[in-house]
């Protein structure tokens, strides 16, 4: 049974707590944060069993998760060093791994340092964004220090797999090269795209859903991202060069009227992106979608539930697509089979609700 100590109870720390608390491998989860409000909330929602000082928490722990910003790692490691028991696992959840691994070299020889990076997040920051299933199907990278024995690594992998994460072990340098390409360059692109509007209201007025999606990451925490970008700047500069070259070739093709080149670029991008598997969000395997138009009235969602419940049709997924306040909205319902979907459409129509198969 493992005693877990989580230092830094933000979105990731609290979600880890919620996810690990149901694990049969875990005996208890202790938390520390400089913000007492976060600690109280984390205990209320069951993300931690109780909170303790760093020295109390570190002394008792079998696994310590560092979930604070990178900048506080040096002082945390100083604090922890004299307290921890031999054989303890120390891991983190930061976005770059080479810098962390060199900080971990300060730890005693009999302590196992394993870098970590869960590829999961949420728009709601801090403990309020905590989600019991945040890591479900998310890739969780581990970058073990050189001397970590296989059975120690396996212990952490087993623990993390109880969160639903897909754990992958790799070298810190490989990790940093990959995240430069799939995370840091996209982040810088979003920043440059937003700044290209110069904040002019006539331009922002026309910034539809596509622009909001493409630039969502530009709304992220500034300090964290300044840290990330500079901690990975060598690789980042190389990949930024490649990105600029690629845009330059597109520009030339447009100037020359080279339709073939543009078509090839668009088509390659579509093929690659369509190959990224999309997570199905619904509860229970839902295969068939129905769309219905409902009035904007109190109780309408409960009513949909009861209409389908009377027919013994289970709602696997539900999504409010669009709404006009005081008028109505469109709702997507996912059900398990085409037969259920057809019966659902009939039942809804019998209740004067416009509905059809999507």
Which residues, 140 to 159, sit near a copy of itself by CB under 8 A? 141
The least CB distance from residue 172 to a copy of itself, in Å, is 13
2-7/63-66 β-pairing: parallel
- Residues 290, 344: contact at Cβ < 8 Å? yes
Residue 36 or 275 with smaller CB distance to a copy of itself:
275
The least CB distance from residue 281 to a copy of itself, in Å, is 5
Question: Of residues 110-129, which lie at the interface with a copy of itself (CB under 8 A)?
Answer: 119-122, 124, 128-129
d(CA 128, CA 45): 10
The least CB distance from residue 314 to a copy of itself, in Å, is 4
Identify which range of 72-80, 82-90, 96-104, 282-290 contacts a copy of itself by CB under 8 A: 282-290
Residue 192 is a binding residue for a copy of itself (CB under 8 A): yes
Judged by DSSP in three states, 352 sits in coil
- Figure out which of the listed residues 11, 308, 344, 348 binds a copy of itself, where binding follows CB under 8 A: 308
Burial environment of residue 195 by CB neighbours within 10 A (0 to 12, 13 to 18, 19 or more) = exposed
Residue 197 is a binding residue for a copy of itself (CB under 8 A): yes
Binding mask 49-88 for a copy of itself (x = CB under 8 A): ----------------------------------------
Residue 248 is a binding residue for a copy of itself (CB under 8 A): yes
Number of residues that bind a copy of itself (CB under 8 A): 139
SS3 readout for 8-76 = CCCHHHHHHHHHHHCCCCEEEEEEECCCHHHHHHHHHCCCCCEECCHHHHHHHCCEEEECCCHHHHHHH
The least CB distance from residue 29 to a copy of itself, in Å, is 15
Residue 344 is a binding residue for a copy of itself (CB under 8 A): no
Residue 173 is a binding residue for a copy of itself (CB under 8 A): no
d(CA 312, CA 343): 10
- Residues 67, 9: contact at Cβ < 8 Å? yes
Fill in the DSSP letter of residue 170.
-
Residue 352 is a binding residue for a copy of itself (CB under 8 A): no
**Which residue, among 95, 35, 88, has the nearest Cα to 70 in the 3D structure?**
95
- Token pair 């339709």 is at which residue? 259
Give kind and range of the element (H or E) at residue 192.
helix 185-196
- Figure out which of the listed residues 86, 151, 322, 352 binds a copy of itself, where binding follows CB under 8 A: 322
Residue 339 is a binding residue for a copy of itself (CB under 8 A): no
């Amino acid at each position: 049974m493992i005693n877990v100590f989580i230092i830094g109870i933000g979105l990731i720390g609290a979600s880890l707590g919620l996810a690990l608390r149901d694990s049969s491998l875990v005996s208890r989860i202790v938390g520390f944060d400089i913000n007492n409000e976060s600690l109280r909330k984390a205990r209320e929602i069951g993300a931690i069993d109780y909170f303790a000082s760093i020295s109390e928490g570190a002394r008792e722990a079998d696994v310590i998760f560092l979930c604070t910003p990178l900048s506080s790692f040096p002082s945390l490691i100083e604090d922890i060093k004299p307290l921890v028991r031999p054989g303890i696992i120390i891991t983190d959840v930061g976005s770059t791994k080479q810098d962390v691994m060199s900080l971990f070299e300060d730890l005693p020889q009999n302590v196992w340092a394993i870098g970590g990076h869960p590829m999961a997040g949420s728009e709601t920051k801090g403990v309020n964004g905590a989600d019991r299933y945040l890591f479900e199907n998310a890739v969780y990278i581990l970058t073990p220090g050189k001397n970590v024995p296989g059975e120690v690594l396996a212990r952490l992998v087993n623990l993390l797999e109880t969160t639903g994460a897909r754990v992958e072990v790799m070298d810190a340098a490989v990790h940093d090269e990959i995240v430069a390409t799939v995370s840091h360059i996209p982040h810088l692109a979003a920043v440059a795209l937003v700044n290209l509007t110069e904040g002019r209201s006539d331009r922002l007025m026309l910034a539809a859903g596509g622009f909001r999606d493409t630039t969502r990451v530009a709304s992220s925490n500034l300090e964290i991202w300044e840290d990330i970008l500079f901690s990975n700047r060598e690789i980042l500069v190389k990949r930024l060069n490649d990105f600029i070259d690629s845009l330059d070739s597109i520009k030339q093709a447009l100037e020359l009227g080279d339709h073939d080149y543009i078509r090839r670029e668009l088509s390659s991008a579509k093929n690659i992106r369509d190959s990224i598997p999309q997570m199905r969000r619904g509860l229970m395997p839902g295969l068939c979608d129905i769309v219905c138009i409902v009035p904007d009235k109190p109780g309408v969602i409960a009513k949909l539930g009861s209409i389908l419940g009377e027919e013994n049709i289970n709602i696997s997924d539900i999504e409010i697509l669009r709404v006009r306040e005081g008028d109505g909205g469109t709702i997507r319902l996912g059900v398990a089979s085409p037969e259920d979907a057809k019966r659902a459409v009939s039942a809804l129509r019998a209740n004067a609700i416009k509905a059809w198969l999507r």
